[in-house]
């Protein structure tokens, strides 16, 4: 039996989400989106644009709306295939917020208070420590549990939230009766975390005020090469992988490895006796060449809003069907009157 003849029933279900916070970075692409596309053949995948989670920090309404469609266009451009996977927007499936409430009532103040993301974000936005920020993990648990997802691809920064989803699922199952699957994290080995080009000890993030610290998915070739040329490295001039001592060069080597398939040893050989500037140029070119076709597709999807919206509508319908079934089960179990 060939790989694509495998029985669908046996396929595990994957759910993941990404916030529509403007153009994605190379870090988002390497750490999440690229893998989402790869998982489609082996799993039954649901991919969600987490617009409700985005509201936990202040948004400009028109921008959030635009970013949501742009996120969908980028996911399609990066290879998410709506014929294979369910691609949808979180707020288009109201059942997520319904389950969110039930799970809020089954999450403890102490548990939510211990979430490091809550603590970090509260410190970052002291003027807007809102209830949604606090109960963020309960909504994320709802996203996952409402589909009985088996596997949840998440970055390191979300593993604590995933653990809370398991705690809450377990509590609910024990209190009522077995209802939710226990979701597992799905962490890919390499390239899970791409670091800032300016401070390689920090994660690459679009919220960094220095635009040279990140590559955006729609940066043009010149910009990409310029940013890599300026990347902070070290002064010993040898292209060698050593994440602790040479975090800048090691980060660039990871990126080069991902786009060329060359392993660390091969990269070290290729640039033996050459300076950092040759290496940085090569990394920049490899990234620009890899992103070019995605950028082309992205422009094409963005120009065809009707198609993108149809994909999202279809995705929301399919997701709602699954989510609503779970919701009526849950409402019944907790004792809400159904007439
Ligand atoms: N909180 C995730 C992030 O910011 C996005 C997200 C929302 C998510 N719901 C999810 C990820 C469910 C995985 C599963 O990265």
Q: Counting atoms of ligand 1 from 1, which one is nearest the CA of 140?
A: 9
Catalytic residue among 12, 193, 206, 229: 206
Nearest residue (by CA) to ligand 1, atom 15, is: 18
| pLDDT for position 5 | 44
17 lines ligand 1 (CB under 6 A): yes
Per-residue pLDDT, averaged over 282-311, amounts to 98
Domain 3-192+304-334 has CATH 3.40.50.280: no
Per-residue pLDDT, averaged over 244-271, amounts to 96
The helix/strand/coil state of 66 is helix
Per-residue pLDDT, averaged over 148-167, amounts to 95
* Catalytic-residue membership of 38: no
> pLDDT per residue over 214-233, tens digit each?
999 999 999 999 999 999 99
Q: Counting atoms of ligand 1 from 1, which one is nearest the CA of 157?
A: 15
Domains of the chain by residue range: 3-192+304-334, 211-298
Token pair for residue 98? 């319904």
| pLDDT for position 288 | 98
> pLDDT per residue over 7-39, tens digit each?
456 899 999 999 998 889 999 999 999 999 999
Q: What is the pTM of this model?
A: 0.93
The neighbour count for residue 63, using CB atoms within 10 Å, is 13
Per-residue pLDDT, averaged over 123-139, amounts to 96
Q: Write the CATH number of the domain with boundaries 211-298.
A: 1.10.240.10
164 lines ligand 1 (CB under 6 A): no
Token pair for residue 258? 């991902």
Residue 177 has pLDDT above 80, yes or no: yes
Residue 6 has pLDDT above 70, yes or no: no
19 lines ligand 1 (CB under 6 A): yes
* Catalytic-residue membership of 121: yes
| pLDDT for position 157 | 87
| Banded model confidence at residue 326, pLDDT cuts 50, 70, 90 | very high
Token pair for residue 102? 């039930």
| Banded model confidence at residue 207, pLDDT cuts 50, 70, 90 | confident
| Banded model confidence at residue 268, pLDDT cuts 50, 70, 90 | very high
15 lines ligand 1 (CB under 6 A): yes
Average pLDDT over the chain, rounded to an integer: 94
């Amino acid at each position: 039996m060939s790989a694509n003849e495998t029985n669908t029933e046996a396929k595990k279900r994957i759910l993941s989400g990404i916030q529509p916070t403007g153009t994605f970075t190379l870090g988002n692409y390497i750490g999440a989106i690229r893998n989402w596309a790869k998982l489609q053949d082996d799993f039954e995948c649901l991919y969600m644009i987490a617009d409700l989670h985005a509201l936990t920090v202040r948004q400009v309404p028109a921008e959030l709306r635009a970013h949501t469609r742009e996120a969908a266009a980028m996911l399609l451009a990066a290879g998410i295939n709506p014929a294979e996977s369910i691609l949808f927007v979180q707020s288009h499936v109201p059942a997520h917020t319904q389950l969110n409430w039930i799970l809020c009532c089954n999450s403890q103040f102490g548990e939510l208070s211990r979430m490091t993301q809550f603590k970090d974000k509260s410190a970052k936005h002291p003027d807007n420590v809102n209830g949604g920020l606090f109960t963020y993990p309960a909504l994320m648990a709802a996203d996952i549990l409402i589909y009985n997802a088996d596997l949840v691809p998440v970055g390191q920064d979300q593993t604590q939230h995933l653990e809370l989803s398991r705690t809450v699922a377990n509590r609910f199952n024990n209190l009522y009766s077995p209802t939710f699957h226990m979701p597992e994290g799905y962490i890919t080995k390499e390239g899970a975390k791409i670091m800032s080009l300016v401070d390689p000890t920090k994660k690459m993030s679009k919220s960094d005020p220095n635009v040279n610290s990140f590559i955006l998915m729609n940066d043009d070739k010149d910009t990409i090469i310029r940013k890599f040329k300026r990347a902070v490295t070290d002064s010993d001039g040898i292209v060698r992988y050593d994440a602790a001592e040479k975090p800048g060069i090691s980060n660039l080597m990871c990126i080069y490895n991902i786009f060329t398939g060359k392993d660390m040893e091969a990269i070290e050989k290729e640039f033996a006796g050459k300076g950092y500037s040759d290496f940085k140029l090569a990394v920049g070119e490899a990234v620009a060449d890899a992103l070019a076709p995605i950028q082309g597709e992205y422009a094409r999807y963005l120009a065809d809003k009707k198609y993108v919206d149809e994909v999202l509508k279809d995705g929301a319908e399919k997701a709602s069907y699954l989510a609503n079934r779970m919701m009526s089960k849950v409402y019944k179990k907790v004792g809400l009157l159904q007439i």
